């Protein structure tokens, strides 16, 4: 154990609803079961998730989109999408599901609950592996994401923390979050992702740096396919530390999408737990209030391996490499190990290319956030006063913090 106050966001309904997201059917329960099988839930603070309200969702999403989501109640397998559904992104990538509005309220509520734990000063780190849906837009679903829980959570964090650094480790560019804050100086978005012709979503080039008064406050590291632990550790250490020192955030949100892991069916990178944990460790070392979220990750057992490993690392608990026996144990074969083995494929990222990107990023940071440029973006007074925390609420498992915010 260490001295980090870690809060893990949990809820039967949160797991149930995340479990029925079409792109990751059954994943949420698998992840939670593995974390539980390692006995971590009895050693860390577990906080019950609450749902987001219509007003909460409206902080980002348009009312037209939210009203449309309400029309999906009991959806049968043979449902045919119409042109209005498609206008809101409901279709191939994001098929309709039953009780859609309720589902997005639950998913957004998980990350909002994590934000509340940080805003109230209860937690140093709050984890919601059911969150991280970074592609959803204000007016529609996209790329398996129906609700942008990240933006809604960041809006909550901004009530206390004037400057938020958002980091995206998913193999896909974090376009939905970047678009939401592309003209803002309060939220710096930093995304590391595979960037190749035809690879979704197609945005996130090195020149994609934000717009109008937020120019310079979006940063993208486009990587060639098959990027490895060595590559991500090299670039993350340099770029994260630069961004951190120029921007000086008050809180950090990390989307830990697991689809950059080796062998992910939608990925094309070859990270292992080591690469992700190195990045998260560098963030934790800054000792800022931090939210860790899930995201992509389509080899479900590997997503469970990764997020269990990160949870244990944050909690400072050593766990055995052998997967403990539990109901899901048979599907962790043939090795039944927590370790994710790297592949033997060659990393297509050459050091010259990485250094060139690093130099461009540093030039932009100096140009847009350097001395003389950031006079208008220094910390301001928090928009709301820090609310008093009742420590007695922390004594029992599954606290409901609904009434604390």
Question: Where on the chain is the footprint of Zn ion (CB under 5 A)?
Answer: 170, 172, 257, 259, 296
- Minimum gap (Å) between residue 142 Cβ and Zn ion: 12
* Nearest Cα to Cα of residue 138 among 217, 85, 63, 81: 63
Long-range contact list for 353-360, CB < 8 A, 24+ apart? 353/224, 354/231, 354/234, 354/235, 357/206, 357/221, 357/222, 357/235, 358/235, 358/238, 358/239, 360/206
250 assigned to a ligand binding site: no
- Minimum gap (Å) between residue 366 Cβ and Zn ion: 31
Cβ proximity to Zn ion: between 258 and 357 the closer is: 258
Rounded to whole angstroms, what are the CA distances from 125 to 8, 81, 149? Answer: 9, 40, 17
Rounded to whole angstroms, what are the CA distances from 85 to 21, 107, 189, 347, 372? Answer: 17, 20, 30, 40, 48
- Minimum gap (Å) between residue 264 Cβ and Zn ion: 8
Cβ proximity to Zn ion: between 61 and 172 the closer is: 172
259 assigned to a ligand binding site: yes
Residue 277 near residue 309, CB atoms below 8 Å = yes
300 tagged catalytic: no
143 assigned to a ligand binding site: yes
- Minimum gap (Å) between residue 173 Cβ and Zn ion: 9
* Nearest Cα to Cα of residue 324 among 43, 34, 41, 40: 34
Q: What is the DSSP letter of 388?
A: P
Cβ proximity to Zn ion: between 258 and 354 the closer is: 258
298 assigned to a ligand binding site: yes
CA dihedral 223, 347, 303, 177 (to 10 degrees): 0
Neighbouring-strand partners of residue 227? none
372 assigned to a ligand binding site: no
Q: Which helix (H) or strand (E) holds 100?
A: helix 100-119
Q: Which helix (H) or strand (E) holds 367?
A: helix 351-369
Interior CA angle at 367 toward 362 and 370, to 5°? 85
Cβ proximity to Zn ion: between 133 and 161 the closer is: 133
Neighbouring-strand partners of residue 251? 164
Among candidate residues 61, 135, 193, 300, the one labeled active-site is 135
166 assigned to a ligand binding site: no
Residue closest to Zn ion (Cβ): 296
- Minimum gap (Å) between residue 172 Cβ and Zn ion: 4
Q: Annotated binding residues for substrate, as ranges?
A: 93, 143, 298
Q: Annotated binding residues for a divalent metal cation, as ranges?
A: 170, 172, 259
Residues classed as catalytic: 135
């Amino acid at each position: 154990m260490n001295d980090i106050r870690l809060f893990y966001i949990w809820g039967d309904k949160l797991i149930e609803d995340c479990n029925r997201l079409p792109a990751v059917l059954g994943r949420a329960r698998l992840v939670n079961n593995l974390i539980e099988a390692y006995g971590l839930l009895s050693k860390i603070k577990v906080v019950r998730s609450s749902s987001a309200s219509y007003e909460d969702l409206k902080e980002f999403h348009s009312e037209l989109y939210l009203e449309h989501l309400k029309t999906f109640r009991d959806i049968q397998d043979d449902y045919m999408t119409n042109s209005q559904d498609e206008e809101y992104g409901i279709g191939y990538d994001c098929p309709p599901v039953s009780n859609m509005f309720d589902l997005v309220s639950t998913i957004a509520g998980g990350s909002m609950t994590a934000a509340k734990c940080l805003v109230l000063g209860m937690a140093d780190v709050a984890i919601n592996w059911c969150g991280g849906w970074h592609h959803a837009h204000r007016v529609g679903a996209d790329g398996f994401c129906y609700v942008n829980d990240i933006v809604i959570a960041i809006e909550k964090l901004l009530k206390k923390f004037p400057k938020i650094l958002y980091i995206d480790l998913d193999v896909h560019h974090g376009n939905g979050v970047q678009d939401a804050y592309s003209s803002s100086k309060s939220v710096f978005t930093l995304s590391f992702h595979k960037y190749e012709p035809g690879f979704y979503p197609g945005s996130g080039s090195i020149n994609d740096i934000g717009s109008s008064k937020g120019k310079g406050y979006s940063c993208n590291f486009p990587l060639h396919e098959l990027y490895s632990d060595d590559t991500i550790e090299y670039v993350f250490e340099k770029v994260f530390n630069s961004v951190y020192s120029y921007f000086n955030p008050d809180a950090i949100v990390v989307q830990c999408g697991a689809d950059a892991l080796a062998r992910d069916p939608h990925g094309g990178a070859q990270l292992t737990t080591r690469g992700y944990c190195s990045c998260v460790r560098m963030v934790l070392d800054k000792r800022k209030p931090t939210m860790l979220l899930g995201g992509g990750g389509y080899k479900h057992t590997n997503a469970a391996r990764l997020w269990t490993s990160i949870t244990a690392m944050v909690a400072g608990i050593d766990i055995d490499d052998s997967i403990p026996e539990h109901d899901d144990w048979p599907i962790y074969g043939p090795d039944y190990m927590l370790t994710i083995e790297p592949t033997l494929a060659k990393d297509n990222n050459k050091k010259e290319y990485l250094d060139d990107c690093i130099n461009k990023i540093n030039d932009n940071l100096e140009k847009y956030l350097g001395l003389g440029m950031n006079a208008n973006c220094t910390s301001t007074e928090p928009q709301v006063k820090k609310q008093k925390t009742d420590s007695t609420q922390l004594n029992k498992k599954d606290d409901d913090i609904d009434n604390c915010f």
